Every structure is written in structure tokens, then in C-alpha cells.
Amino acid sequence: MFVMQQNNFMKERINPFNERWKQELYKALGAKEDHDVAPTEARLKFEREQMEILKSLLMVKKGDSVLEFGSGKARVLKEIGMIAKLCVGLDISFEVLKLNKLNEKKMPFIQGDMFNQPFREESFDLVMSEGVIEHFYNWREILSEANRILKPGGKLATAVPNLLNLPQTIALALQGRNFRYYPEKPFYPDMTGSLAKEYKKIGLTNLQFAGWRPGYFLDSFYLFDLKTGKVKHPFYLPILRALGKNVESLMKVLPDDKRRLANRWLGYEFVIVGTKPSDDNLVPHPEDQSEISEADRLFGELL
């Protein structure tokens, strides 16, 4: 019913080398598909730290309604929205959504297009995505649509790759279309970056930033042969893995304030959170009080 236009995706979204590389990777990990792959130690640490930071930053309440678009297997949604009144996952892929255990009362999953979301305006207290918009040229349209369905006072949270995470950015520049997550656009984690500017352009305020796991890319590094698509094990791979682990060990000994700063600027990913302005604090002009009261009375009679 909801079909995403193909030109929304970056050009040459699926690369034959990427597909062969993925199959080789799944085979090396003893799995047939992505959802069969057991998380590595590095991935588990990444997910734990990510969840801790997101939970403390977003502070979801019991009465909230939460949407994750591009939800996939809804790993983030299931953690962040666990205490919310309503959690909704939206994804274009029906095959991916079938992997989720549906709970219609608590957590429905909907097949739909994030460029044209099937929800009324001002429907959610929190709209979020993780690892989604960087794969689209017209990512600004996604944010505008997310803002449309966000309630006044609600939060929009977007987690994306960090441009200043140099190992990841250099690998993307060198490998181009053969980068394992191609296509991908990393963002700058500051108010002067294009993502923060777009947040301000659509009217979001109180922008906050947080990041995590600067050494994750090195600690989880894979390399594949561009000609055969097979996973390679170069002699320097253990060195990269050890370097990634050393970076994370260094992060642990930093004071809390310096660790938060390093995570924001150098993390593998960062999240930006903005708040949609609310009219709750606006005081009606005295001349309008009688009209508002009468309007409220008339509306009440219709209920």
C-alpha cells in the first residue's frame, strides 16, 4: 500500500560486491541471513552503551507514544520504548517486519514509507531513527515528515554516523561503493553541521548531542576482496582490532565529562535530539478569554 519511490534511495543502492561480501560474512559467522548472525562482543558492547546513553537522554515516560521509523528488527524501539504507553515501528520492508513478534496492543509494526508516513499530524511524543537517514540523498524530507507527526513538546531523535570518526570516514572515502554500509553519509556532530541546521530550519529547539564507542569501527573491522567479494584476513587485522580495544579502554579511564565530550566528537555514531516548541506557556490576551471559554464550552457539548 505504501511504496517508497526508488529515487529516494541513493544511486546504486545494492552493489553486487556488497551482496557477495554479506553472504561471505554470514557464512564465516555460521549464519544464512543477517538476522541469524549472533552479535559479536564488540557489537554487544556497542549496543549496551548506545542504549544507556539514549535512555538517559530521551527519558521516555509511561504515558508517551513512541515511533521508530526505519525500525527494522526494532532493537532500539524495544529498549527505549519499553515503558511507553504505545510503541510503533515503521519500515518499508515487509520481510524485516515479519521478524518481529507482533503485539498489537503494545507495539504494532507497520509497513510504510517514511517520506509519507501514514499518521496524523502531532501523533507522537517521540519520533526516532537509528542508522537510517544517512542512506538517503533527500534526508531532509525525512526529517520534515517526522516533524509533522511530532506533538508540540515532543522530541525528534536521529542517530547517524559521525564524520569525525576517522577510521570509518577514511574507509568510506577509500572504498566508495564497496564500503560495507554503502551508500552512507556521515554527519558533523555540532550546531554548525548540516543535520543541526536542518533541525533548526524545521523549528526544533533545545538541541542536544551525544555519541558512543569511538573504537567500534576498528574493533569490528572486516575487509573483503573487491574482485571475489570474499572476506579477507590481512595481517594487520589483529592490529586494528587491538587498536580499537585500546581506544575503548582509554575511554573508560577518562573523567565523565571528558568521556562524554570525546564520545560526542569522536564516537562511531552520535545522536541529535531536538524539541518541537509547545504553546502551553502562551498566555491568552485578556480580550480573548471569553471567546476561548465559549469555544471550549461548545466543543465540550459535542463530546
pLDDT at 290: 41
Domain ranges of the chain: 6-302
Any bridge partners for residue 128, and if so which?
68, 157
pLDDT tens, 263-288? 999 999 999 999 999 876 444 444 43
Spatial separation of the C-alpha atoms in residues 303 and 299, rounded to whole Å: 7
Alpha-carbon distances, residue 219 vs 216, 241, 273 (angstroms): 5, 4, 27
How far apart are alpha carbons 9 and 136 in whole angstroms?
Answer: 5
Give residue 266's pLDDT.
Answer: 94
Look at residue 52 and tell me whether its pLDDT is greater than 80.
yes
**Proportion of the chain above pLDDT 70, given as a percent:** 72
Buried b or exposed e, range 125-153, using 16+ CB within 10 angstroms: bbbbbbbbbbbbeebbebbebbbebbbee
Residue 76, burial from CB neighbour count under 10 angstroms (0-12, 13-18, 19+): buried
Question: Which amino acid makes up residue 61?
Answer: K
> Within 13 A of 259's CA, how many CA atoms are on the CB side?
15
Point out which residues pair with 126 in neighbouring strands: 66, 155
- Helix or strand or coil: residue 172? helix
Label residue 101 by pLDDT band (50, 70, 90). low
- Which of 70-74, 177-181, 215-219 is predicted with the least confidence, judged by mean pLDDT? 177-181
pLDDT at 231: 63
Tell me how far apart the alpha carbons of residues 79 and 39 are, in angstroms, rounded to a whole number.
16
What is the homologous superfamily of the domain 6-302 according to CATH? Vaccinia Virus protein VP39 (3.40.50.150)
Residue 133 banded pLDDT, cuts 50, 70, 90: very high
Asked whether residue 64 carries a pLDDT value surpassing 80, the answer given is yes
> pLDDT > 90: what percent of the chain?
44
- Is residue 225 scored above 80 in pLDDT? no
Integer Rg of the chain from CA: 22
6-15, 205-214, 220-229: which range is least confident on average? 6-15
Q: Going by DSSP bridges, is the β-strand pair 223-224/124-130 parallel, antiparallel, or unpaired?
A: unpaired
